Structure 1
Amino acid sequence: MLRCFSAVLALLCQLIAPAFAEDVPRSECLAMANAPPRATPVSLRLADAKPGEVTITYAGHSTYYIDTPGGIRIATDFSGAYTTGRLPDVVTMNRAHSTHYTLFPDPRIPHVLHGWRDDGAPAKIAERIGDVYIRNVTTDIRRYFGEDSSGEMIKDGNSIFIFEVAGLCIGHLGHLHVKLDDSQFAAIGRLDIVMVPIDGTYTMSLDGISDITRRLRASVVLPMHRFMTPLDEFMHLVGQQFAIDVRTERTLTISRDTLPDTPTVIILRGV
């Protein structure tokens, strides 16, 4: 009898386990980055991803709006000062200045994701919201102005947010102050589109951010947090392997199939 019960229990576990596995968020961008050359797991085939285009709009400073094919609207480094169109469904924030976060977001925003934790532990975000999977990789950040200007580092005070949607891997580097180590590059995985701060002073030097941009080698680089940075200086540091595309619009509509063949810095109006 006991042996029979054990067999039945094992069978039930086999039947139930896949259902639970489906509920566990997973990063397809990490899996594709780690896959052997020419080998793509069945679960990661682009045909399995929700088809459609993603629309990215530059609102100002470090705030981009991402509109997914499934109707989810995301605002990055959201403070409420830079808005466009309808209210976002998701906002991400970083603990640099008040231009990168707000403690009093519109209560109608259903998902507010902080890139830090008040208890000093690293923020851990891995959420599927509609058709987008959102995760983060933490980095250290300097103390700034309102708190003090000592230059002391706050461990895990900034988050690089990664948005996985429609077969695209989209990264936002936040208010990045430090070089990334190998473990952080590995945790980020493959990026198709990356938003990088190019002010050269408040975040990282242009040399530092250019090194990171070259190593990530995303198909599309979207500058932000620019201030008065000469764009030709950034382009010179990034190198000739990146093309440059200056747009007269604030909005970019893109899909997996329309990514440029050559890595390209796209400068939207307002940057």
Structure 2
Amino acid sequence: RKTGYSMTRQTADLVTISHDHPGHANLNAVKPEYQTITGPGEYEMHDVFVTGIRTYHDEAKGAERGYNTIYLIEVEGLVICHLGDLGHTLSEEQAEAMAKVDVLLIPAGGGPVLNPTRAAELVAQIEPRLVIPMQFATATGDKDREDVAGFCRHLGLAVPAAEEKLTLRHSDLTDTLRLVQLAPNS
């Protein structure tokens, strides 16, 4: 794979695709019997509510790299926001739609996605309680990106040890921003 990461076969009820890109839209790695959401709109499946918001993969309103969909996923009292391959700052309307995000998954390694500075600015704009950076350089992949240290520095946080798994309940969240670095599957 282009990213340098391998992925074991996964099981899922629901899969969201922010944009069709072979580098990370790998439906072949998901066992059959799942529902797929591939764009903007409002969806409800298995007591999970999903809102897809149209955005772009670049600053040129998609002219360079196309569309991107941000997903807001409401499940078990949590609002999880996956920014996909967002490549621009949010409009006021887009930011308002994300006013109650608990967990934010954000690209933060630069290149064709947000660099650490812009990613930190979006964290300040969205104000999640937990942030999970994506698409940053690690020892095993995405080596053409910046590492997570710059993003943490812009947020005023120490670089946490990578965690293999995150289990989260609404009661685990506090008003203090927490960053979780998930260990890549290599």
TM-score class, shorter: 0.7 to 0.9
Paired residues for 1:3-18 under 5 Å: none
Structure 2 CA distance for partners of 1:257 and 1:244, relative to 1, 3 Å:
farther
Q: Is the 8 A contact 1:170 1:193 kept in 2?
A: yes
- State the identity as a percent: 24
User: Is structure 2 residue 104 aligned with structure 1 residue 217?
Assistant: no
Match of 1:90 in 2: 14
CA shift for structure 1 position 105: 7.8
Kept in 2: contact 1:243–1:264 (CA 8 A): no
Larger fraction in strand: 1
1:36 aligned partner: none
Residue 106 of structure 2 corresponds to residue 196 of structure 1: yes
Of Structure 1 and Structure 2, the greater helix share is in: 1
Unmatched 5+ stretches in structure 1: 1-60, 62-80, 116-122, 143-150
Q: Distance in 2 between matches of 1:106 and 1:261?
A: 35
Structure 1 residue 215: Cα displacement: 1.4
Mapping for residues 90-239 of structure 1, pairs under 5 Å:
90-95=14-19, 97-101=21-25, 108-115=32-39, 123-124=40-41, 126-142=42-58, 152-153=63-64, 157-227=67-137, 228=143, 229-238=146-155
Distance, in Å, in 2 between the alignment partners of 1:199 and 1:84 is 26
CA distance in 1 between counterparts of 2:165 and 2:48 reads 19
CA contact (8 A) 2:148 2:159 kept: no
- Offset at residue 216 of structure 1 (A): 1.2
**AA aligned opposite 1:170:** I
- Asked if 2 retains the 8 angstrom alpha-carbon contact of 1:140 and 1:177, the reply is yes
- 1:131-163 CA deviation, whole Å, 9 max, x = no partner? 211111110224xxxxxxxx83466x1111111
CA–CA distance in structure 2, aligned partners of residues 264 and 185 of structure 1 = 20
Q: What is the TM-score when the length of structure 2 is the normalising length?
A: 0.79
Aligned to 1:186, what secondary structure does the other structure show?
helix
Contact 1:141 1:177 in 2 (8 A): yes
CA RMSD of aligned residues (A): 2.7
Secondary structure of 2:51's match? strand
Q: Could you tell me which residue of structure 2 aligns to residue 264 of structure 1?
A: 178
Aligned-pair CA distance for 1:185: 0.5
Q: Partner of 2:164 in structure 1?
A: 250
Alpha-carbon distance, 1:96 to partner: 5.5
1: distance between equivalents of 2:30 and 2:52?
23
Return closer, same or farther for 1:103/1:257 CA change in 2, 3 Å cut-off: closer
Q: Which has the larger radius of gyration?
A: 1
Aligned residues: 172
Q: How far did residue 127 of structure 1 move? A: 1.5
TM-score by length of 1: 0.56
Deviation for aligned residue 1:261: 3.9
